Structures are given as C-alpha cells and as structure tokens.
Amino acid sequence: MNTLPTKSSSVPLEEDAIEDIESIELEDIEGLGRVTAEKLRNAGIYSIKDLATSSVMEIGNIIGSEHRAKMLILNAQKLLSRGRFFITAKEYYEERQKINQISTGCKSLDELLEGGIETKAITELIGEFGAGKTQLCHQLCVMVQLPPEEGGLSGKAIYIDTEGTFRPERIIQIAEYRGLDPEKILNNIVYARAYNSDHQMLLVKEAKKIIEPEEVKLLIVDSLVTYFRSEYPGRENLAARQQKLNLHISQLLKVATAYDIAVVVTNQVVSSPDFIFGNPLKPVGGNIVAHGCTYRIWIKKAKEGKRIAKIIDSPKHAEREVAFRISEEGVVDL
C-alpha cells in the first residue's frame, strides 16, 4: 500500500534549497542540451520553473517532439520538487504562510483582502468605467515599492496598458501624498502599451526576462479582455476568443507562481439583455476568466462619491464588501 512520504524521508523545502533551484540553468536539466535550451529561451522559456509549469504540447511545438518534451518537463519537475511530488496539508499551510502581500494603501480594502494583494495569484478588479480599477492599479504600483514593514515588497512594477489609461501624473500625486520621491517611484515602474491581443501576450512573455533582474514584484494588465473582445466579435468567433484568452490567463498564472509575484488584472462589465431580476451587469470573459483568476473583486460607484468593493469569488475569503473613496491622494478610507 502506498503511503504519503514522511518529512524525514524527503528533502525539506528550505530557503537554501530554493536558492539552489534559482541557480540551475536549463542546460543543467537531464537530457537538455545547449541547442534545445536556446530554442526554449527564444520561445520564452527561461528557467526551470518556466519549463516545469509548461504543457507537453507547448514544449513539443518548440522542440519538435512531444515525447521528448514530456521527459524534459518531468525532469524539471523532479528538480523543482526535489523528487517529492506530494506534501501534507500542514506543510502546504506552512508554505502558504510565506506568501507575500502588497498593501492597497487603504485599510478597508486590506481588511477585505485579509492583508492585501497576494503574490503567486491573479487578482481581478471588475467594474464599470470610472469605478476606480485603474486608480487602484496606480496606487499598487507605488505601494509595492515600499519596504515590507510599510506594506510593500521593496520591488518594482510592470504595467501593461491596453486602453491608454496609465497616467504618470497620477503616480506623482499618490507618491507625494505618501512622502515619497516621485522620480524614484516612476523609475521603478516599467511601462508598456499593448496594441493588440498578440502584442499583449508577447509583452507578458518578454516581461519574464526582466522580472528577476529588475526585482519586479507586481505585474498589472489594465485591462485584460479589451483586445480579445474587439478582435473576436460575434458568436462565430467566441470559441477562438475564449481559447486564446484561456491561454493568456494561463500564461499570467504561470508567471505569478513561477516568479512569486502578484498579478493584477482589470476587467470590464457588460449588460445581459435577457436578465430579468437582480444585477444585469456581468464581467466580460465568461467562465474562462472566472475560473482563471484566483480572487475576483467587484468595484462599483455609490452615493456621495463612495466606492464599494465586494469579493465575489475567492478560495479563502468570505463574500463581503467594504466602502472607500478616491481622492487626489489616491485610494483612501472614508
């Protein structure tokens, strides 16, 4: 009878072991030579983590053999897990305690999220135009740069802008309110304007090259589905759109987990014409986005300039809501 291996019979997941993994090059993986490593890097697979979290079909298309791809992925997974594929729930709980969080800079939102925006996860901000999604993204770009004791991760941010709504002037306002050097804050935000869905996906792929060298801790895509909606209109293109969108979300989740960073995406809402009772608005992207994002937060306008944030999907949070407001200083408590 197979039993779960005990802690004494396996290699513990210690910090020095993690550092050893970080130093492993693709060429160090059994069965992977220099030529194959070059092919993988050219396709956006830069590390053992990238390879271990890739699909057999994806790697097979790159190197020309799904059989060999399966072997290489398995070898990478063995190295990454130190030969141990299963752990106890208690050990996983202990690992979860090491996950970092980025404060939103707003106490009520931090309480809603039980600390802030998590790394190794995708947090989706949903809402109508002007609800405050982009405002919160701007503020997170500032907050992530703070030291851990002040709610940040001492890291940089990557901002992929699909709608042309990123404003450095807003970053300056938020930084000055918090007594920070605006020029330094701006220099620690890596910006890119996406021009179509393929370019958007390419930018995420290229981002992997700079995440570790630049100590990036936050990746923002504002907004996620804009180009997918416009480039694949109508029911006849729905399957192709959802398949491509699913690939993109999978790409973002791999980056979040492999590089231990927080990924934040914004999403629009549409009105459902056949809805009779309740809220006719629903997030764009359907089940693909709903299942792909780890945490989903709906932001809506309220009376007297207030905003209401509600968690509508989460593997750990209760479904509750809090109020906040948006001012010149940024996203703040009431």
Note whether 294 and 190 are same-domain residues. Answer: yes
In a domain, 215, yes or no: yes
Q: What is the pLDDT confidence band of residue 136, given thresholds at 50, 70 and 90? A: very high
Q: What is the pLDDT of residue 134?
A: 97
In a domain, 91, yes or no: no
User: Mean pLDDT, the chain, as a whole number?
Assistant: 90
In a domain, 186, yes or no: yes
Note whether 72 and 107 are same-domain residues. Answer: no
Pairing of strands 262-267, 281-283: unpaired
In a domain, 94, yes or no: no
Note whether 190 and 321 are same-domain residues. Answer: yes
The residue among 80, 107, 125 that closes a domain is 80
Q: How far apart are CA 264 and CA 118, in angstroms?
A: 9
Note whether 200 and 71 are same-domain residues. Answer: no
Phi, psi of 333 (to 5 degrees): -75, 160
Q: How far apart are CA 266 and CA 221, in angstroms?
A: 7
| pLDDT exceeds 90 at position 3 | no
Q: Minimal CA–CA distance to 192: which of 214, 163, 169, 217? A: 163
pLDDT mean over 40-56: 90
What's this model's pTM, rounded to 2 decimal places? 0.88
Note whether 37 and 157 are same-domain residues. Answer: no
The residue among 80, 115, 139 that closes a domain is 80
Domain count for the chain: 2
Cis peptide before 223 (omega within 30 of 0): yes
| Tens-digit pLDDT profile for residues 175-205 | 999 999 999 999 999 999 999 999 999 999 9
Contact partners, residue 296, CB within 8 Å, separation at least 6: 123, 124, 126, 283, 290, 311, 312, 313, 314
Q: How far apart are CA 102 and CA 110, in angstroms?
A: 9
Note whether 43 and 144 are same-domain residues. Answer: no
| Tens-digit pLDDT profile for residues 197-254 | 999 999 999 999 999 999 999 999 999 999 999 999 989 999 999 999 999 999 999 9
| Tens-digit pLDDT profile for residues 90-134 | 999 999 999 999 999 999 999 999 999 999 999 999 999 999 999
Domain coverage including residue 16: 7-80
Note whether 126 and 169 are same-domain residues. Answer: yes
CATH assignment at residue 51: 1.10.150.20
Note whether 68 and 163 are same-domain residues. Answer: no
In contact, 29 and 75? CB cutoff 8 Å: yes
Q: What is the pLDDT of residue 319?
A: 86
pLDDT mean over 149-160: 98
